[in-house]
Structure 1
Amino acid sequence: MTPSLRPSRRQILTAAGIGAAGFAFPMSQKSFADTSPNERPVFATIGLRNQGWAITNKSFQFADFAAFADVDANVLGENVERAKKRQGKAPDGYADYRKILDRDDIDAVMIATPDHWHTKVAVEAMLAGKDVYCEKPLTLTIAEGKLIEKIVKQTGCVFQVGTMQRTEFKKRFLQAVALVRDGRIGDIKKITCGIGGSESSEVLPKVDVPEGLDWDFWLGPAPKTAYRALPEMRKGYGGGVPRYTNCHYAWRNWFEYSGGQMNDWGAHHVDIATWALGADTTGPNKVTPVSYSLPVEYKDGYPTVEDRYNVPTKFEILVNMPGDIPLVITSSGDNGIMFEGTKGRFFVNRGKIVGKPVEDLESNPLPEGAIEEVYGGAVARNHTDNFIQAMRDRTQPISDVWSHNRMLETCHLANISIRLGRELNWDPDKREIIGDEEANSFLARDSREGYEIDGI
């Protein structure tokens, strides 16, 4: 990208109507369409542990990485060296992601921080004129999703959410959506999303913060608390850190930083279910907690202790989708999605797609172009490829913020229903809970002082 095609932060802020009267789209939004098709975009990654490196590693074939940022000096240093081996040049490393946003040579950022940081980093990146690829689940609250939608619209930035089941895994999920849309199971009667449960923990004592980790910055917008961990170390994926902690890989077990399995795997499987139903521009009307287990005692929707994991360990949630189609989200059974209709049923996950409607494809294949129609165009090589195609065309990619947020609202509502222990009625047009002031208070959270979103 040449600097002349890049809007300045001042132009973006003015165009977004932030701190200025009126509103207009940027006059000179950066565009790969105006440059050579062979020109590689310049990326930066913010948040590098585990998934951060995973999405970076698969993107070297499409982009050059000029900078990394992470609050853990050890993670940052290790991945700078990894990148140097991959692309022949080391990216600059920063402890503070804002130094990346200040640079004029970076076209897009990939965000793989813990969930409670996503919105702040993503909004500030867009206001700085960067396109954004952000890991799922995109938000910690429904209000955050609305804010991101507003800033995407105002800035004209391209925004890809990392729900890569829409593009990868041998296109099984695209095939599943195409089967439903082509009527191969008749009218849908029920969809079940098996997403697994979370583990509980013993009491986690306060311990010294590991050397190299900026704990206060890691907490960021979340409430101030002590670093906690048990001595046992995690093995395999996410290894080299405590298995039981309120940081590192285990932050997913805390409502302060995530939505547990409901938002983690739910953001994948509920997404495909919602997409297949054609409900990605609306949402449910009711969410009922059929059964659930919480690892600690709750009062008024909040855990009464702060030294143990607090997200649900087991659950079954019944969601009334448009047309009163039941969507069941459960921690039981196989991880994947079961589609049931009047003419048959099939099951799909990352490793397989099975059932008679799938077997029947051998003698009665899907119509030509059915997969491409689901996708909305030529199928990309992977999620990053789709993102860069959208950057070139200045269009939104296959996993856009609007459809993602509509799906994720179902997951957020499921968690709220568990925390309060009651059924919730949802208005998908107003995007608020009907007749329940206490439940509506969970649609947003305040950021810790000093970590509010800059520029709004």
Structure 2
Amino acid sequence: MDRRTMIKGAGATLAVAMSARSYARIKGANDRLRVAVVGVNGRGQAHMSAFLQLANVDITHFCDVDSAVLAKRAGEFAAKGHATPKTVSDYRRLLDSKAVDIVTVATPDHWHAKLAVDAMNSGHHVYCEKPIGIAPAEGEAMIAVQKRTGRELQVGNQQRSSLETRQLLALIQAGELGDVYEAQTWYANNRGSIGTGQVATPPATLNWDLWQGPRPRAAYRSNLVPYNWHWFWQYGTGEICNNAMHELDVARWLMGLTYPTRVEAQGAKRFHAGDDWEMYDSLTLALHYGKDRTIRWNGQSCNSMLTYGRGRGVLLLGTKGSAVVDRNGFELYDLAGKSIRQVMAAASSETTNTVGEGALDVSHAGNLVDVIRGRTNALNSPIAEGHISTTLCHLGNMAYRTDSVLTVDPTTGKPTNAEAMKLWSVAYEPGWEVKA
């Protein structure tokens, strides 16, 4: 790396550190915002950490359907010297309150759209984890409600707030890589077996009916909560929505793409034979954009072999060079495969653990807060963009579940396959529908 490149990299990484630390100094004194975190057992902890680092932002409410988890997280929060948050078990009581400005959604996937829609309808701004819903129709409803209410809705694919990734975008747009014709993305982990669960009485602290929320009622199983719901079609969306969403979003953003014309997926359950995991644990996906450009994903839930030394990331192939990018920076290569530039973030973000906490969470939450306060005009990840990227993941699941190659309308994202279109929406428990 030459001196000039090092200076550029240092400037970019210093900017990240400054952006995170400076929130505590530059925010105004009269625009305090109050935040409620819904779902506090996993990713919600990253939400707490991020919003706490923003000046004139208070976390005032915790909401969770498990009273034991709720009490534990509230106690931990207070023990760190923060004001004890109000605890609410039923989100509807939370939304009745005018003492909350922002609702963050860190619940299981089947709750994301319902909570976001209800929060916007009740006048609250929303930070919603990905995927934005359990089916594409939910994204369509969220877009409609956001437009109607005018509330801000930030989708939690936090790499959109990476200064390094934005720097790479500028280089690509300036022609540094030439014509970027393919992106290869990946995710690798070594998840263990979820075992064989039994129909059982829910724990006394868990409101099982409320946990199910919008989904048709089913019996509680002993190995479902708090995390393994990801691998059941009733509540989860698979590794592709759980993790590929991030890298597919980055790839199509950097390539300037929206919906593909053809989708292929090949996968299987190859590990932990006999356990209750309903889905694939290994999946390859190809999104074809006409005959010229392709985005690929290789998802390995139970084989954590690294690619380019990373558990997750994006490789961009161009006619003048290539780039590898992840949450913590990027590296450029010439056509001979020689590294010619590297830019790394000063503050790191987690990549493959289940909480995923890091510096990008602060930047992404800060972007939402700045838009609410009118200090910047554009969300880094608005619902319209989040919907497209989530739909790419749903299309992968549709191709896998129907065992077919999908032809897709590139203007709407809808497949022409009638069986696949049956998965465009889902059934709801009566009275719990997600409506525009």
Report the TM-score, using the length of structure 2 for normalisation: 0.80
What does residue 51 of structure 1 align with?
43
Structure 2 partner of 1:242: none
Q: CA deviation at 1:395?
A: 4.2
* Aligned position for 1:428: 410
Match for residue 64 of structure 2?
70
- Structure 1 segments unaligned to the other structure (5+ residues): 1-34, 230-244, 297-305, 366-378
* 1:409 equivalent in structure 2: 391
Q: Does 1:246 align with 2:224?
A: yes
For 1:381 and 1:53, locate their aligned partners in 2 and report how far apart those are by CA, in whole Å: 12
Question: Could you say which structure has the greater relative contact order, defined with CA pairs below 8 angstroms and 6 or more residues apart?
Answer: 2
Tell me the distance in 1 between the aligned counterparts of 2:116 and 2:240. Answer: 22
**Cα contact 2:263–2:286 (8 A) shared by 1:** yes
Distance apart, 1:85 and its partner CA: 3.7
Question: Does structure 1 residue 271 correspond to structure 2 residue 249?
Answer: yes
What SS does the aligned partner of 1:417 have? Answer: helix
The alpha carbon displacement at 1:78 in A equals 1.4
| Conservation of the 8 A alpha-carbon contact between 2:51 and 2:362 | no
Residues 164 and 330 of structure 2 are in contact (CA less than 8 Å); yes or no, is this contact kept in structure 1? yes
Matched, 1:448 2:425: no
Distance 2:372 2:341 in 1: 35
Kept after mapping to 2: 8 A contact 1:158/1:396: no
- Of 191, 205, 214, the residue aligned with 2:183 is 191
Give the fraction of aligned pairs with identical amino acids, expressed as a percent.
Answer: 28
One-letter amino acid of the counterpart of residue 371, structure 2: A
Q: Which residue of 2 aligns with 1:18?
A: none
Q: 1:295 to 1:116 in 2, by over 3 A?
A: farther
1:340 partnered with 2:321: no
Matched to 1:205, the amino acid is: Q
Query: 2:356 maps to which residue?
Result: none
Q: Which residue of 2 aligns with 1:240?
A: none
In the TM superposition, 1:167-178 aligns within 5 A as 167-168=161-162, 171-178=163-170
Q: How many angstroms apart in 2 are the aligned matches of 1:286 and 1:110?
A: 34
Matches within 5 A, 1:135-284: 135-168=129-162, 171-196=163-188, 201-229=194-222, 245-279=223-257, 282-284=258-260
- Answering whether residue 32 of structure 2 is matched by residue 40 of structure 1, we say yes
TM-superposed deviation, 1:286: 0.7
Is the 1:72–1:212 Cα contact (8 Å) retained in structure 2? yes
Once residues 393 and 156 of structure 2 are traced to their aligned partners in structure 1, the CA distance between those partners, rounded to angstroms, is 16
Q: Which residue of 1 aligns with 2:276?
A: 308
Superposed CA offset, 1:170-195 (max 9, x none): x3432333332222221112111102
Q: Is the 8 Å Cα contact of residues 315 and 323 (structure 2) preserved in structure 1?
A: yes
Structure 2: gaps (5+ residues):
1-26, 301-305, 344-359
Secondary structure, aligned partner of 1:195: strand
8 A contact 2:35–2:100 mirrored in 1: yes
1:321 pairs with one of 269, 286, 289: 289
Cα deviation digits, residues 348-404 of structure 1 (max 9, x gap): 223453342594348xx9xxxxxxxxxxxxx99611111100101284410111111
- From 97, 106, 117, the equivalent of 2:111 is 117
Please state whether the residue corresponding to 2:253 is helix, strand or coil. helix
Residue 79 of structure 1 corresponds to which residue in structure 2? 73
* Residue in 2 that maps onto 1:293: 268
Question: Secondary structure of 1:265's match?
Answer: helix
Q: Is the 8 A contact 1:199 1:253 kept in 2?
A: no
Deviation at residue 265 of structure 1 after TM alignment: 1.2
Aligned 8 A contact 1:295 1:311 in 2: no
Alpha-carbon distance between aligned partners in 2 of 1:99 and 1:87, rounded to the nearest angstrom:
26
CA contact (8 A) 1:64 1:87 kept: no
Conserved 8 A contact 1:45-1:111: yes
- Note if contact 1:254-1:311 (Cα within 8 Å) is conserved in structure 2: yes
The letter for the 2-side match of 1:327 is I
- 2:214 and 2:395 map into 1 onto residues whose CA distance is 21
What whole-Å deviation, never above 9, does each CA across 1:60-119 have from its counterpart, x for those lacking one? Answer: 132112211100001111122233244642111111011110011211111111110011
The SS at the match of 2:286 is strand
| Aligned equivalents of 2:131, 2:420: Cα separation in 1 | 21
| 2:372 is equivalent to residue 391 of structure 1 | yes
- Which has the higher mean CA deviation after the structures are superposed, 95-104 or 187-196? 187-196
Larger mean Cα displacement after TM superposition, 421-430 or 394-403: 394-403
Aligned length: 376
Normalising by structure 1, we get a TM-score of 0.76
Secondary structure of the corresponding residue to residue 287 of structure 1: strand
Amino acid of the structure 1 residue aligned with 2:104: M
- Is the Cα–Cα contact under 8 Å of residues 166 and 173 in structure 1 kept in the other structure? yes
Amino acid at match of 1:48: V
